[in-house]
């Protein structure tokens, strides 16, 4: 695997990790009926291009 491939794989892994983290946080916000936090997290997903 060359450097370009490793960088692409690392970027994909990073994006997947970010997505999983935000989704977990959204689940907790829903469970706690925290509409304000849920709104912020939805905005974060959009800003990160994860939606």
pLDDT (tens digit, 9 = 90+) per residue, 3-51? Answer: 999 999 999 999 999 999 999 999 999 999 999 999 999 999 999 998 7
Confidence (pTM): 0.84
Q: Is residue 14 helix, strand or coil? A: helix
Contact 30, 37 (CB under 8 A): no
Angle between helix 35-48 and helix 3-31 axes, rounded to 10 deg: 160
Residues 37, 17: Cα–Cα separation, whole Å: 20
Three-point CA angle 38, 48, 41, nearest 5°: 5
């Amino acid at each position: 695997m060359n450097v370009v491939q490793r960088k692409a794989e690392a970027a994909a892994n990073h994006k997947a990790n970010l997505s999983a983290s935000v989704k977990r946080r959204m689940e907790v916000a829903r469970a706690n009926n925290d509409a304000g936090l849920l709104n912020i997290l939805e905005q974060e997903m959009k800003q990160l291009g994860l939606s």
